[in-house]
Amino acid sequence: MLAAMVALVLAPPARAGADGEFGISIGYAELSIDDDPVLDDLDDQGGLRFEPRFTWAPSEDLPNLRLGIGVGFSFFYDEEDSGQDFGGFADVEDFEEISFIIPEFQVTWRQPLAEHYFIEGGVGIGAVFGYFRAGQVVFDELFDQDVSEWDLALGIRPLLRGGYMSERWSAGLEGSYLFTDLDFGHGIGGNMEELYIGLFYQHKL
């Protein structure tokens, strides 16, 4: 059973040329971090999320069911005055940043609402590669780097899309909410959530 599921994910069906779609989404993301004083400045921090993806319908009997493989990229950055100066003429700023790279498998159900409109809901499950960096900058150039760490965790991301669909393309709004847990060492990390709202475009192959 498990082998069959893996084969289904890794090998899109022969009908992918007819049912396959390549899509991209881009928009605003907001990061939430539970009870970590080190990352307090990044809690509720806004950022950017971008995702390319490929989706397909695995069965003629269930044309509304779609599988997909996507890779999400998110970036969050905060910079504040440290109260120090460099050489008496330049302010030193403290910075923190978190980046996510998220390859994931997606399962969705696309439901037509009218002749050219649809809603599509589902979930993405995948690996979350998290990168945390902190230090100081002068004139927005790296001056000192205190921490630079990676971590890997499981991510679960309920998602919802809706919009307009023509014979060859579709476009609209997309939202999702990522749940993950990252530990960067040095007592830094914890439960992290990412709210995303953006635009998407998909083109049939």
Question: Distance (Å, rounded) from C-alpha 156 to C-alpha 84?
Answer: 41
Question: Distance (Å, rounded) from C-alpha 39 to C-alpha 194?
Answer: 15
Band of the pLDDT at 133, cuts 50, 70, 90? very high
Question: Distance (Å, rounded) from C-alpha 165 to C-alpha 89?
Answer: 57
The predicted structure's pLDDT at residue 113: 93
Top pLDDT among 191 and 114 is at: 191
Top pLDDT among 51 and 88 is at: 51
| The pairing of beta strand 90-112 with beta strand 188-204 | unpaired
The predicted structure's pLDDT at residue 21: 96
C-alpha atoms less than 13 angstroms from C-alpha of 60 in its C-beta half-sphere = 3
Amino acid identity at 6 = V
- pLDDT surpasses 70 at 50: yes
The predicted structure's pLDDT at residue 86: 59
Question: Distance (Å, rounded) from C-alpha 101 to C-alpha 153?
Answer: 11
Cα radius of gyration (the chain): 20
The predicted structure's pLDDT at residue 49: 98
Question: Distance (Å, rounded) from C-alpha 33 to C-alpha 186?
Answer: 16
Domain 24-204: assigned CATH number: 2.40.160
Q: Which whole-number Å values give the CA distances from 58 to 8, 62, 84, 108, 180, in the listed order?
A: 8, 8, 59, 11, 28
DSSP 13: -
Question: Distance (Å, rounded) from C-alpha 99 to C-alpha 184?
Answer: 12
Poorest-pLDDT segment among 16-30, 46-60, 169-183: 16-30
Beta strands per DSSP E along the chain: 21-33, 45-56, 65-86, 90-112, 117-138, 141-165, 169-185, 188-204
Percent over 90 (pLDDT), the chain: 64
Rounded mean pLDDT, 66-86: 86
Poorest-pLDDT segment among 115-119, 121-125, 133-137, 173-177: 133-137
Top pLDDT among 103 and 59 is at: 103
- Token pair for residue 77? 């950055």
Question: Distance (Å, rounded) from C-alpha 18 to C-alpha 164?
Answer: 19
